[in-house]
């Protein structure tokens, strides 16, 4: 299978680039580091886990380049970029139409920008969580965007392009979206529940569930209503939950009384608790 | 197990019956039934002195309610009632085994007599 | 038990016919492989949850720290039990919808099931947070370890179920769940109901029976 | 290749004969139990005897069943083997089964087993019957030695002032039933004196009963049989059954404490060393027993062997070393002694004078010099006795002090 | 499902440019031959062979560990291994032999033979099958990497708490043990679901349950045992993992934990486990004995039902491993009695096998020799089992070498002898050449000798007081002589295993000059012998219709009224010819099983060393699952009809409803 037709020119270029950047990163790390030889060799090899990498900046640049090039090379080999046969096979046609400019909206730039701003806010307010989350979003955006731009220009046929895109992105997107949905509801709602009183939490909880249920019933009773209605309900619901969650988090948790005061004496075996250090005093050494 | 290899049965018994909502009605009624049972369960907590489940009877009552809910869900929602009996047998194998084995195990801990285990 | 002498060279011909003459049922039992497989899996899950429930029963009286009676918030847990119960209804309605070929309705019901499931998880996060604040950490006592492990494990099952449900909606939107794959919905449904059934047991055994 | 079949035939004959000879030798050997201190086939107390009374018939039944099955198979394989001259198209009669026969050999084993079951149940009842007037001893396992607590006043408490705590060796009166309660301070161990009874696990947090009784005075060896970590192999136990008068004297001595300072100046120095180093783990009644209750030793088990009456024991460190050595002819004791023959404390057992000449100083000093080198232990994890880096002088002083602990 | 396809699909014909897949790694792989094909195969035969090969690899590891044990115990105060190392070696020996040798060999035969014996083309979920294998292999390798990452587990193969806690075993060995066995547990569980569905759903026409070959029956019972036993172990292991990694209190005695909890959970798993190890061997012997006695198995229904009975009763006896743990006399009595009566169904089997040979015309080929070896050696082990079941006797015997003797007699003398016989029996079917008979017989006699020399003395050692799991013993206890004998025996045994390995290569090199073996070299009885040797990828062409037990035999022979056998057709007439397999649709290979399985040990390392690594592993697993689910159901190349629906599905919605009706059966959602 790894026949030579597999390796397109583009793949060779990127693969070569990856290998050379890797070597460069290693060389930079090795030469600019001052520790013992073993650590100088190990450092660049283990990403600085054991040993040092010398000139951090150059090492990172080269390593980043290597990773990026390797990713692109992988992508190219995965989809046989620029191989008309491959595309033809996807559309089940003898040959492929010519490429033309992509169509359709692309919300990724906006999302990326938003994440960037959030990151700045995070940095300014020194909230590590926000910064990390924003960076994560930016990585995802960059990744998706790359795949998408590539896919949009792959062939001249929008269907084919979409199919290519989905083949690649769905195994990542579907679980991520699913987890986001749960995370959103679960975390948002639990913040709200924590901020209201004990009785209130039962009510809020019950009512939210009831609302979900009733909306579903309404939508199900009129399945003919346009798709945008459903979409709108989902979007509004999501926004509401996020907003409520933020509000709940801002208000903070209610006062919760601590129970575990009265400790019953342990009836188990006598002995040390696992965490306690063992100290033995030695005599004068012989 | 009497499985003959040539039963002419369609893959899903529930197939066909296009636009037939009668089963939905059954489901809704079942859900209401389950809800009522759950309310009774909650009442054992809210009104612990109610004669039906006062004192020793509490645990039996709860266990019975639990069992009824359990079997209602697997029979109606999970279609065991409408499906091939072999599915019921397979599931029961696991269920009965689990119940018997774990009860036997708890018995060796003498857990049923208050305060003896530990 | 001896059988009379039979001449059977015709058998080879019979074989040859069989391969082309079609068997009507796909399988010997008339149940699809995936469905049978799911039921087998659920049967084995009984023993997994059984082990955890047994552990809980053995350890439900702690030597130190809060006791179950002190800590449980029955009204709240009752509500969340209701939520999970109703999600079983929406699930079964979704199965029923796809069997009729109503894709949009199926997506709505599945979406509702997922939303209710996520609500349940929210409730569990809330409950755990409150318990921890009240002094019942995971490592506090034998009861706390057993309780969090059992309910947490159930929570993980619910979460996996929700992921499957949302994935179903997304796939359905992409047209990947045509009628002939309606059974996929039913099978995910089986899993979902089973998780619900486990909660029925947990609710009674863990929460309602006083220690 | 041509000659291989013949070799194979010779191999077959050799193997078959060798296996038959092996089995015969094993059967003969299992009747020879002298010189095997751990054998379970030579009971010396009522409990072990009642097990033996079950073992003999059950083993015989098993042997008979095996001989029958094996005999049948040998016979069949001989009688019904394919002969070289037989007609390849000649087939044996095709029997598919015979229900009556099969039901027969379903029921027959069931009946045999029912018989075994009756004997089993009776023996279990017998072994669990409570004996009146028995001596109560709590046996606690820890890594990797045993602690014994005697409830001498029968108040259900093993820690009262009239009670005795000792380690490593258990002294019991011959002819009197002893009700042992097993438990553990760390992991699961198993208490087993094969000559007196079967074993019972020592489970932390659990207390399990075991009945022991020795018919005659003597020394009974045992071995921890539940895997308990690093030195499981080096965790033995020793029961010393003595006449009842000797036992009473032993108890009387055990109730004494060792608060008084030793007269010998070297031993007095040793006591100081002991106080500064050893007392953080070991107890000597009258010296640090009260303090130890406040600051338990840095050990996972929470206890180290009680040394109050160390010299009344014939062995030490999980009974793997002799504390007293029968004096060797050339005066030189081996560092690793032949512990199958347990050391004998002699008069020291009941508080008499310690025969310092026969004390196994070599091993005892080696133990103090570097205990983990003699017995694999894990002192840095709080399990076992550490190497305390003592000087030779300190060791001599300590041994002198320890030798006063009769 | 895909197998009962009504759409005729061709096997990829060899003439197109083989190995070129235009859409790269995101299509299904196609290689049928060559090294790469083994990594992506979903063919039950290849998977079965890989199970066998991996098991023999692990056998050598476990065997070398056994030899180390024996060398250490050669003389009193052996100094080859330190106490610490010895504890790791014997723990890993037990674990390896049980989980990575005997269970997978059972899985190997089940995988290879079940579809052939029931007349199916493959198992129900071919991709899951591949996943099971890879998960087992990676789990096993993961377990063994502990040797180079800080030492193996050191708690004994049943890993009693609290000795398995961090305080008492601070190295990572037990974590490796725990997570490795969770991974192989996942493999076993998915394998069990798969094989049960296969047997229940995919039998050939006429193959009713009571016409199934006995091996299939026994394998079915043992898969049910796996299905229900594995989750019990998993639940216990989850508790252990939480205790070790997250300070839970399940086995923390300070907080009132009860160490017997682990013992119960382990043995509730453990006892069914020992039966699921022996039952496949019982099944194999039930195939071999009638073949070489040239008469039917005596009392087919009794053999089948006693197997089922063993399966059921096996659940009610677990506490016989805990007679002395302090569970109280009533429990002891109850479990003592239930245990004893398990000898009844087992005895039925032994006696029925004996009766099968009675009146037969016995040919002593190597498979037959090993089978007779099983019948006799297992009986010794079984009878010592009955001796343990008498609780008072067990209180003297438990945790001594008497037990070690018992379980090696049942495991080696039972399961392993059966497997050896089956290796010789089925080798021609799987590989197309016979193993050398003379070497085979030599192998048997050497193994019998070595086996008895090794383990028979352990009975006496145990009764005379030698405790198990001791790295050393002292002189003066009378243990020296028999330990030496056992050590000599172990090396004899090793040489017999080596002889087997040699035989494989020797026979293969000689096979070139010999005529090819036909489909039916032993004149056997069941339908797997109808197909050419080695088995073609498509198994049967056409699928046979089955009319009775031993269907193939009765295609060759007829019976007169008085039970006389008459040949009615030559083997060549009734056996199937090798065809080009055109028109038979087979499941396509896939990358995802190995990808998914690869993620599991990474999660394992992550849980031990760094949760970040676990996250990466988790991403591989999740990506693997979704890649799997969304994988094109079939290789587009292999499809004749248009997969057009894929192309215009991207606008979502109900577009795909228009799928053509004849695609309805092309479902392979998870398989
Ligand atoms: C293949 C695995 C296998 C099999 C089949 C068996 C079969 C049996 N086992 Fe065994 N057993 C193990 C594997 C197995 N065992 C292992 C691995 C351990 C140790 C685990 C450890 O501690 O590490 C163990 C330990 C073990 C113990 C615990 C010992 C202890 O630790 O104290 C006991 C106790 O009862 C026991 C009993 C039995 C019995 C009664 C049978 C019966 O099924 C045997 C039945 C067979 C026969 C009896 C022979 C044939 C019958 C006849 C010819 C009919 C006539 C017979 C009579 C009338 C008696 N086994
Ligand atoms: C199926 C299971 C199985 C098998 C096959 C074996 C096989 C063997 N076992 Fe084991 N054993 C167990 C399962 C098994 N064992 C279990 C479960 C335990 C309990 C563990 C515990 O207590 O936790 C145990 C424990 C155990 C002990 C007790 C340890 C102790 O308690 O301290 C001993 C001691 O002698 C032992 C010995 C042997 C020997 C000599 C073999 C021999 O039969 C091995 C023979 C095989 C080989 C030697 C193969 C290697 C071949 C070569 C090296 C040559 C060829 C090489 C090439 C061609 C490359 N085993
Ligand atoms: Cu203590 Cu083994
Ligand atoms: Cu068992």
CB atoms within 10 A of CB A277: 7
Answer yes or no: do C2 and D97 touch at CB < 8 A: no
Residue A103 pLDDT grade (very low, low, confident, very high; cuts 50, 70, 90): low
* CA distances from residue D111 to C66, E340, E389 in whole angstroms, order as listed: 54, 11, 16
pLDDT for the residue E515: 86
Mean pLDDT of all residues in chain E? Answer: 87
Residues in contact with D323: Cβ distance below 8 Å, sequence separation at least 6, in sequence order: D310, D311, D313, D314, D315, D316, D343, D345, D359, D360, D364
Sign of the C-alpha dihedral computed for residues D247, D252, D257 and D260 taken in this order: negative
Tokens representing C154 are 């159930």
In angstroms, rounded to a whole number, what is the distance separating the alpha carbons of residues A159 and D371?
78
Comparing D151 with A253, which gets the higher pLDDT?
D151
* CA distances from residue D70 to D77, E224, E354, E441 in whole angstroms, order as listed: 10, 32, 10, 20
pLDDT for the residue A224: 63
Contacts of B34 in chain C (CB under 8 A): 85, 88
Report cis status (omega within 30 of 0) of the bond before E542: yes
Tokens representing C178 are 């045509």
pLDDT for the residue D145: 94
> Left if phi > 0, otherwise alpha if psi is -120 to 50, otherwise beta: which for D168?
left
DSSP sequence for A31-57: HH--S-HHHHHHHHHTTTSSS--SSHH
Average pLDDT over residues A26-43: 77
H or E element at residue E232: helix E214-246
Comparing A245 with D204, which gets the higher pLDDT?
D204
E strands, D175-329, in order: 178-184, 189-191, 200-202, 208-212, 218-223, 236-242, 315-316, 321-322
Nearest residue of E to residue A76, measured between CA atoms: E24
Percent of chain D with pLDDT over 90: 61
Answer yes or no: do E644 and A160 touch at CB < 8 A: no
In angstroms, rounded to a whole number, what is the distance separating the alpha carbons of residues E401 and E479?
11
Residue B113 pLDDT grade (very low, low, confident, very high; cuts 50, 70, 90): low
- A107-111: long-range contacts (C-beta < 8 A, 24 or more apart)? A108/A141, A108/A144, A108/A145, A108/A148, A109/A145, A111/A137, A111/A141
Which of E193, E659, E667 shows the shortest C-beta gap to C40? E193
Contact D231, E83 (CB under 8 A): yes
Burial E101-139 (b: 16+ CB within 10 A, else e): bbbbbbbbbbbbbbbbbbbbbbbbbbbbbbbbbbbbbbb
pLDDT for the residue C152: 95
CB atoms within 10 A of CB E428: 23
Contact C177, E292 (CB under 8 A): no
Which of D184, D277, D379 shows the shortest C-beta gap to A269? D184
In angstroms, rounded to a whole number, what is the distance separating the alpha carbons of residues E111 and E40?
16
User: Rounded to the nearest 5 degrees, what angle is found at the Cα of A201, between the Cα atoms of A200 and A205?
Assistant: 120
In angstroms, rounded to a whole number, what is the distance separating the alpha carbons of residues E511 and E500?
16
CA distance from start to end of chain C: 62
- Assign D181 to helix, strand or coil: strand
In angstroms, rounded to a whole number, what is the distance separating the alpha carbons of residues B87 and B104?
26
Is the minimum distance from the CB of D228 to ligand 3 under 6 angstroms? yes
Pocket test for ligand 2, best of E159, E402, E408, E468 (most atoms within 8 A of CB): E408
In angstroms, rounded to a whole number, what is the distance separating the alpha carbons of residues D143 and D228?
7
pLDDT (tens digit per residue) in B27-49: 999 999 999 999 988 888 877 77
CB atoms within 10 A of CB A172: 18
pTM score: 0.90
Contacts of A220 in chain C (CB under 8 A): 93, 97, 105, 108-109, 112
Is the minimum distance from the CB of D224 to ligand 3 under 6 angstroms? yes
pLDDT for the residue C18: 44
In angstroms, rounded to a whole number, what is the distance separating the alpha carbons of residues B83 and B78?
9
* CB-facing half-sphere around the CA of E601: CA atoms within 13 A: 21
Contact A14, A69 (CB under 8 A): yes
Bridge partner residues of D135 (DSSP): D178
Average pLDDT over residues C134-152: 92
* CA distances from residue E555 to C3, C8, D196, E550, E577 in whole angstroms, order as listed: 13, 6, 65, 9, 15
In angstroms, rounded to a whole number, what is the distance separating the alpha carbons of residues D398 and A103?
92
Query: For C15, phi and psi rounded to 5 degrees?
Result: -55, -50
The residue whose CA is least distant from atom 44 of ligand 1 is E382
Tokens representing E311 are 């399966």
Contact A103, A118 (CB under 8 A): no
Decide if E331 touches D, using CB distance below 8 A.
no
In angstroms, rounded to a whole number, what is the distance separating the alpha carbons of residues D81 and E305?
29
Which of C108, C117, C129 shows the shortest C-beta gap to A219? C108
Least confident stretch, A84-98, D160-174, D207-221, E35-49:
A84-98
In angstroms, rounded to a whole number, what is the distance separating the alpha carbons of residues E302 and E288?
17
pLDDT (tens digit per residue) in B60-112: 888 999 999 999 999 988 887 788 888 999 999 999 999 999 999 998 887 76
Is the minimum distance from the CB of E468 to ligand 2 under 6 angstroms? yes
In angstroms, rounded to a whole number, what is the distance separating the alpha carbons of residues E461 and E468?
10
pLDDT (tens digit per residue) in B16-28: 444 566 778 889 9
Comparing C146 with D290, which gets the higher pLDDT?
C146
pLDDT for the residue E18: 40
Query: For D236, phi and psi rounded to 5 degrees?
Result: -115, 170
From the alpha carbon of D224, which atom of ligand 3 is closest?
Answer: 2
Mean pLDDT of all residues in chain A? Answer: 73
In angstroms, rounded to a whole number, what is the distance separating the alpha carbons of residues E166 and E177?
13
Answer yes or no: do A270 and D302 touch at CB < 8 A: yes
* CA distances from residue E100 to A47, D216, D288, E97, E422 in whole angstroms, order as listed: 35, 50, 54, 6, 18
In angstroms, rounded to a whole number, what is the distance separating the alpha carbons of residues D292 and D294?
5
- A-to-C residue pairs, Cβ atoms closer than 8 angstroms: 151
pLDDT for the residue E579: 81
Comparing E538 with D341, which gets the higher pLDDT?
E538
Bridge partner residues of E467 (DSSP): E400
Most D CBs within 10 Å, among A266, A267, A275, A278, to test the D interface? A278
User: Rounded to the nearest 5 degrees, what angle is found at the Cα of A25, between the Cα atoms of A23 and A27?
Assistant: 65
Closest CA to C147 of C161, C134, C136: C136
Ligand 1 binding residues, C-beta < 6 A: D 65, 69, 109, 112-113; E 158, 274-275, 277-278, 320-321, 339, 342-343, 346-347, 350, 379, 382-383, 385-386, 388-389, 394, 398, 403, 406-407, 410-411, 414-415
C2 CA: distance to closest CA in chain D (Å): 8
Closest CA to E227 of D269, B95, D306: B95
Is the minimum distance from the CB of D189 to ligand 3 under 6 angstroms? yes
Longest CA–CA span in chain D (Å) reads 101
pLDDT for the residue A121: 81
Which residues numbered 233-272 in A keep a CB inside 8 Å of some CB on D?
Answer: 267-272
Tokens representing A6 are 């597999």
Query: For D141, phi and psi rounded to 5 degrees?
Result: -90, 145
Q: Is E592 exposed, middle or buried (0-12, 13-18, 19+ CB in 10 A)?
A: buried
Residue C20 pLDDT grade (very low, low, confident, very high; cuts 50, 70, 90): very low
* CB-facing half-sphere around the CA of D149: CA atoms within 13 A: 19
In angstroms, rounded to a whole number, what is the distance separating the alpha carbons of residues A241 and E59?
57
Residues in contact with A47: Cβ distance below 8 Å, sequence separation at least 6, in sequence order: A53, A63
Q: Which residues of chain E have pLDDT under 50?
A: 1-22, 635-671
């Amino acid at each position: 299978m790894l026949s030579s037709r597999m390796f397109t020119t583009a793949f060779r270029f990127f693969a070569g680039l990856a290998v050379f950047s890797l070597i460069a990163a290693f060389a930079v790390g090795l030469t600019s580091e001052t520790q013992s030889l073993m650590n100088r060799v190990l450092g660049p090899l283990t990403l600085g886990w054991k040993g040092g990498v010398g000139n951090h900046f150059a090492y990172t640049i080269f390593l980043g380049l290597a990773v990026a090039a390797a990713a692109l090379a992988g992508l190219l080999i995965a989809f046989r970029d620029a191989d008309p046969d491959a595309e033809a096979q996807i559309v089940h046609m003898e040959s492929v139409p010519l490429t033309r400019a992509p169509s359709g909206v692309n919300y990724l730039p906006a999302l990326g920008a938003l994440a960037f701003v959030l990151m700045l806010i995070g940095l300014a307010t020194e909230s590590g969580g926000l910064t990390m989350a924003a960076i994560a979003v930016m990585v995802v955006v960059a990744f998706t965007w790359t795949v998408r731009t590539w896919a949009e220009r792959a062939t001249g046929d929008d269907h084919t392009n979409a199919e290519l895109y989905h083949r690649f992105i769905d195994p990542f997107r579907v679980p991520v979206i699913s987890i986001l949905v749960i995370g959103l509801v679960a975390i948002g709602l639990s913040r709200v529940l924590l901020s209201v009183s004990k009785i209130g939490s039962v009510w809020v909880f019950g009512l939210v569930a009831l609302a979900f249920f009733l909306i579903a019933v309404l939508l199900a009773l009129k399945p003919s209503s346009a798709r945008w209605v459903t979409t709108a309900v989902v979007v509004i619901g999501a926004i509401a939950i996020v907003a409520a969650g933020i509000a709940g988090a801002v208000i903070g948790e209610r006062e919760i009384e601590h129970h575990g005061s009265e400790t019953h004496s342990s009836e188990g075996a006598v002995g040390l608790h696992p965490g306690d250090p063992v100290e033995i005093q030695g005599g004068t050494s012989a | 197990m009497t499985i003959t290899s040539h039963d002419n049965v369609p893959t899903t018994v529930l197939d066909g019956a296009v636009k037939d909502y009668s089963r939905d009605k059954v489901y809704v009624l079942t859900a209401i039934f389950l809800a009522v049972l759950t309310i009774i369960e909650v009442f054992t907590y809210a009104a612990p002195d109610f004669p039906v489940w006062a004192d020793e009877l509490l645990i039996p009552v709860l266990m019975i309610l639990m069992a009824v809910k359990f079997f209602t869900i697997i029979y109606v929602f999970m279609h065991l009632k409408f499906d091939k009996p072999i599915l019921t047998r397979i599931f029961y194998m696991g269920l009965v085994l689990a119940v018997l084995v774990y009860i036997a195990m708890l018995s060796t801990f003498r857990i049923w007599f208050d305060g003896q285990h530990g | 038990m001896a059988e009379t002498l039979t001449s059977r060279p015709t058998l080879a011909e019979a074989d040859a016919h069989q391969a082309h003459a079609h068997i009507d049922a796909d399988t010997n039992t008339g149940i699809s492989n995936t469905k049978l497989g799911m039921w087998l899996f659920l049967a084995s899950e009984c023993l997994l949850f059984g082990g955890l429930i047994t552990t809980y029963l053995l350890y439900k009286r702690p030597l130190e720290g809060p006791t179950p009676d002190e800590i449980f918030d029955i009204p709240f847990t009752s509500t969340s039990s209701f939520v999970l119960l109703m999600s079983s209804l929406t699930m079964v309605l979704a199965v029923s919808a796809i069997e009729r070929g109503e894709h949009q309705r199926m997506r709505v019901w599945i979406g509702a099931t997922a939303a209710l499931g996520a609500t349940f998880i929210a409730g569990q996060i809330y409950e755990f947070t409150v318990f921890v604040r009240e002094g019942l950490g995971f490592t506090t006592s034998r009861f706390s370890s057993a309780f969090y492990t059992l309910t947490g494990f159930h929570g993980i099952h619910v979460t996996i179920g929700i992921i499957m449900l949302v994935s179903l909606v997304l796939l359905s939107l992409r047209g990947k769940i045509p009628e002939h794959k309606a059974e996929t919905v039913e099978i995910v449904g089986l899993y979902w109901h089973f998780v619900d059934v486990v909660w029925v047991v947990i609710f009674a055994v863990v929460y309602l029976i006083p220690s | 290749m041509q000659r291989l079949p013949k070799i194979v035939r010779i191999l077959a004959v050799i193997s078959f004969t060798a296996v038959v000879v092996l089995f015969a030798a094993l059967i003969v050997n299992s009747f020879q139990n002298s010189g095997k201190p751990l054998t379970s086939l030579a009971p010396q107390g009522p409990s072990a005897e009642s097990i033996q009374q079950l073992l003999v018939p059950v083993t015989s039944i098993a042997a008979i069943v095996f001989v029958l099955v094996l005999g049948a198979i040998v016979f069949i394989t001989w009688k019904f083997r394919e002969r070289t001259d037989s007609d390849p198209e000649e087939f044996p009669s095709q029997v598919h089964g015979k229900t009556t026969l099969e039901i027969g050999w379903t029921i027959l084993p069931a009946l045999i087993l029912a018989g075994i079951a009756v004997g089993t149940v009776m023996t279990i009842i017998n072994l669990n019957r409570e004996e009146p007037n028995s001596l109560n001893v709590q046996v606690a396992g820890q890594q990797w030695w045993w602690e014994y607590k005697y409830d001498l006043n029968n108040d259900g408490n093993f820690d009262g002032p009239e009670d005795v705590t000792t380690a490593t060796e258990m002294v019991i009166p011959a002819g009197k039933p002893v009700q042992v309660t097993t438990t553990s301070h760390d992991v699961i161990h198993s208490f087993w004196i094969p000559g007196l009874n079967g074993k019972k696990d020592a489970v932390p947090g659990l207390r399990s009963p075991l009945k022991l009784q020795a018919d005659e005075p003597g020394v009974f060896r045992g071995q921890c049989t539940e895997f308990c970590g690093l030195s499981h192999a080096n965790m033995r136990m020793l029961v010393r059954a003595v006449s009842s008068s000797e036992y009473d004297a032993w108890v009387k001595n055990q109730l004494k404490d060792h608060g008084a300072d030793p007269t010998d100046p070297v031993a007095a120095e040793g006591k100081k060393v002991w106080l500064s180093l050893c007392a953080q783990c070991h107890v000597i009644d009258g010296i640090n027993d009260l303090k130890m209750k406040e600051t338990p030793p840095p050990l996972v088990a929470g206890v180290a062997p009680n040394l109050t009456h160390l010299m009344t024991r014939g062995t030490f460190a999980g009974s793997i070393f002799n504390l007293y050595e029968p004096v060797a002819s050339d005066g030189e004791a081996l560092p690793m002694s032949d512990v199958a023959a347990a050391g004998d404390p002699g008069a020291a057992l009941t508080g008499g004078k310690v025969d310092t000449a026969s004390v196994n100083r070599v091993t005892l000093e080696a133990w103090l010099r570097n205990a983990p080198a003699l017995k694999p232990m894990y002192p840095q994890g709080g399990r076992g006795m550490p190497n305390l880096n003592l000087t030779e002088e300190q060791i001599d002083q300590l041994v002198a002090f320890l030798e006063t602990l009769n | 499902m895909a197998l009962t396809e009504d759409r005729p699909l061709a096997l990829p014909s060899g003439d197109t440019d083989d190995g070129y897949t235009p859409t790269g790694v995101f299509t299904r792989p196609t290689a049928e031959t060559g090294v790469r094909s083994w990594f992506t195969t979903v063919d039950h035969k290849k998977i079965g062979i890989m199970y066998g090969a991996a098991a023999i690899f692990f056998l050598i590891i476990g065997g070398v560990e056994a030899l180390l044990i024996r060398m250490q115990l050669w003389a009193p105060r052996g100094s080859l291994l330190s106490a610490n190392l010895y504890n790791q070696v014997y723990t890993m020996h037990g674990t390896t032999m049980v989980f990575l040798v005997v269970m997978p060999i059972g899985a190997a035969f089940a995988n290879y033979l079940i579809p052939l014996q029931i007349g199916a083309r493959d198992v129900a979920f071919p991709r899951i099958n591949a996943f099971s294998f890879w998960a087992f292999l990676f789990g096993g390798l993961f377990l063994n990497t502990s040797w180079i990452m800080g030492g193996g587990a050191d708690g004994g193969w049943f890993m009693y708490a609290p000795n398995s806690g961090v305080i008492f075993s601070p190295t990572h060995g037990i974590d490796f043990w725990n997570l490795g066995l969770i991974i192989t547990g996942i493999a076993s569980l998915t394998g069990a679901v798969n094989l049960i569905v296969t047997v229940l759903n995919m039998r050939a026409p006429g193959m009713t349950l009571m016409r199934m070959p006995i091996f299939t029956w026994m394998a079915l019972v043992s898969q049910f045992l796996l299905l229900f036993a594995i989750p019990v172990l998993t639940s216990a292991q989850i508790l252990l993992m939480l205790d070790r990694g997250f300070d839970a209190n399940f086995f923390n005695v300070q907080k009132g934990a009860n160490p017997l909890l682990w013992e119960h959970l382990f043995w509730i798993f453990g006892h069914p486990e020992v039966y699921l190890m022996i039952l496949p061997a019982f099944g194999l012997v039930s195939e071999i004995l009638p073949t070489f006695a040239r008469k039917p198995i005596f009392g087919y229904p009794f053999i089948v039902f006693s197997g089922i009975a063993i399966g059921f009763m096996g659940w009610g006896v677990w506490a016989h491993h805990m007679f002395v743990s302090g569970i109280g006399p009533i429990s002891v009595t109850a479990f003592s009695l239930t245990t004893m009566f398990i000898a009844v169904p087992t005895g039925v089997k032994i006696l029925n096998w004996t009766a099968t040979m009675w009146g037969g015309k016995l040919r002593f080929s190597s498979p037959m020799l090993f089978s007779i070896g099983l019948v006799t050696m297992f009986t010794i082990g079984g009878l010592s089992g009955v001796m343990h079941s008498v609780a008072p006797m067990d209180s003297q015997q438990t945790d001594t070498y008497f037990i070690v003797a018992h379980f090696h007699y049942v495991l080696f003398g039972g399961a392993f002898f059966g497997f050896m016989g089956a290796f010789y029996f089925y080798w021609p079917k799987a590989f197309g050449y016979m193993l050398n008979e003379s070497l085979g017989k030599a192998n048997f006699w050497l193994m019998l000798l070595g086996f008895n020399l090794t383990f028979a003395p352990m009975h006496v050692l145990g009764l005379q007081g030698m405790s198990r799991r001791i790295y050393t013993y002292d002189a003066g206890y009378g243990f020296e002589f028999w330990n030496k004998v056992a050590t000599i025996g172990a090396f004899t045994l090793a040489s017999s295993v080596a002889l087997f390995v040699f035989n494989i290569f020797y026979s293969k090199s000689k096979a070139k000059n010999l005529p090819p073996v036909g489909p039916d070299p032993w004149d056997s009885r069941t339908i797997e012998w109808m197909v050419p040797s080695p088995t073609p990828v498509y198994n049967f062409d056409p699928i046979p219709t089955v009319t009775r037990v031993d269907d193939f035999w009765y295609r060759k022979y007829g019976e007169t009224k008085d039970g006389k056998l008459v040949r009615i057709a030559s083997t060549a007439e009734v056996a199937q010819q090798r065809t080009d397999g055109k028109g038979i649709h087979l499941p396509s290979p896939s990358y995802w099983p190995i990808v998914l399985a690869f993620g599991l040990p990474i999660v394992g390392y992550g849980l031990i060393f760094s949760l970040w690594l676990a996250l990466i592993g988790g991403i591989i697993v999740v990506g693997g699952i979704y890649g799997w689910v969304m994988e094109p159901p079939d290789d587009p190349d292999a499809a004749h009809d248009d997969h057009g629906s894929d192309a215009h599905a991207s606008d979502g919605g109900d577009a795909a409803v228009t799928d053509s009706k004849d695609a309805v059966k092309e479902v392979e959602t998870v398989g």
